[in-house]
Amino acid sequence: MNCNQENDLSPETTTERNKQAQRDCQSLSTSSPTRKTRQPDSPYAYLVCFCGVVCNLIVFGCSYSYGLLFPLLLDEFKQGKAKTAWVGSLAYGCSGIFGPVVGVLCDRFDPRIIGIAGGFISTIALIVTSQAPTLTLMYFSFGILYGFGSSCIYFVVLIILQKYFIKHRCLATGLAVTGPGGGLFVMSLIIQALLNNTSWRMTFLSMAGIVFLTCILSCSFDPNVATDDPEPTDHQETQATMTRRLNICASLDFSYLRNKEYLVYLVASSLVFGGIAIPVVHLASYESFLLNLMLTL
């Protein structure tokens, strides 16, 4: 009976079924696999937090340890303390100045890509700095370029942790911002050991190899994290993506500058963090003076 029914099928029905089968096969071949959604406050979230802390420790440890390199660069280029100190000062300043730019980039692109790019830029900057013949090139390579790369890593870590932590968000953020202080403690020992055995140029190359680890660690910053918000439809997601890409300046909202309390905090924090960098740069050059002073006391 089944055979009779199959034989009774018209050519039009058979053709329609073949077309439907072809469409099904095509849809299966072109469909992309479903990405795994990460859960907030999960073990993977703590892995992301650990990678973020290590990234901040490395990049800011290198810039905050500039005081160890300062006397050697002073003897190498003989341009005076003020001009030589500008190299490290630019690196400190640019890591914060480029914060709004990094925020806009993270709104438009994958934060993980921004973090990897920041690590790669910082690595290239240190390699160029190791071969710099003048301080002018170091202003650009270590001051601006490395400052931008470290800014990408630092703010990407802060942004991605806001997605991965809900219950323990304050703890995760607190751990992330300990990176610069911990980096000064850890990386200064490593850089001093390198300077004791190699030249300052080889030290910069070694620092580049260490900073390259941030590219690997940034691969863990998967932005696909589960949220309580309802998932948008394909049409809404496509429309939002096109609007975000077409309106480049859509993320530049400066309405918060109208808040007087915020402006006071902004100016005060800028002065504080600007002053913190002064002893970090110049303290190593007064090592012998401080040692003699302590012995006399």
- pLDDT tens figures, 237-286: 555 555 555 445 555 566 666 777 877 877 777 777 666 666 766 666 66
Residue pointed to by tokens 């859509």: 250
Rounded percentage of the chain residues whose pLDDT exceeds 70:
69
Least confident range from 204-218, 226-240, 258-272, 277-291: namely 226-240
pTM of the shown model:
0.74
Predicted local distance difference test score (pLDDT) of residue 241: 56
Does residue 68 contact residue 192 with C-beta atoms inside 8 Å?
A: yes
* Burial call 86-95: b when 16+ CB within 10 Å, e when fewer: bbbbbbbbbb
- What's the CA gap between 189 and 194, in Å, rounded? 9
The yes-or-no verdict on residue 28 having pLDDT over 50 is no
Distance CA 191, CA 182 (A): 14
pLDDT above 80 (res 146): yes
Higher pLDDT, 22 or 98: 98
What is the residue type of 18? Answer: N
How much is the pLDDT for 137? 92
Contact between residue 59 and residue 114 where contact means Cβ atoms under 8 Å apart? no
Statement: residue 224 has pLDDT above 50: yes
Give one DSSP letter per residue of the chain, joined into a string.
Answer: -HHHHHHT--HHHHHHHHHHHHHHHHHHHHPPPPPPPBPTTSHHHHHHHHHHHHHHHHHHHHHHTHHHHHHHHHHHH---HHHHHHHHHHHHHHHHHTHHHHHHHHHHS-HHHHHHHHHHHHHHHHHHHHT-SSHHHHIIIIIIIHHHHHHHHHHHHHHHHHHH-STTHHHHHHHHHTHHHHHHHHHHHHHHHHHHHS-HHHHHHHHHHHHTHHHHHGGG----B--SSPPPPHHHHHHHHHHHHH-GGGG---GGGG-HHHHHHHHHHHHHHHHHHHHHHHTGGGHHHHHHHHHH-
Contact criterion met (CB below 8 Å) for 150 and 59: yes
Q: For residues 66 and 60, what is the distance between their CA atoms, to the nearest angstrom?
A: 10
Residue whose entry in the numeric block shows the structure tokens 């990386």? 187
Which region among 22-26, 90-94, 145-149, 252-256 has the lowest average model confidence (pLDDT)? Answer: 22-26
User: What is the residue type of 45?
Assistant: A
* Angstrom distance (rounded) from CA 153 to CA 49: 13
pLDDT, position 17? 58
Question: Which of 8-12, 90-94, 121-125, 214-218 has the weakest average pLDDT?
Answer: 8-12
pLDDT of residue 12: 55
Q: For position 89, what pLDDT does the model report?
A: 83
Phi, psi of 198 (to 5 degrees): -135, 180
Say which residue, 295 or 107, is predicted with more confidence.
Answer: 107
Q: For the CA atoms of the chain, what is the radius of gyration?
A: 27
pLDDT in tens, 61-102: 888 888 888 889 988 888 888 888 888 888 888 888 888 888
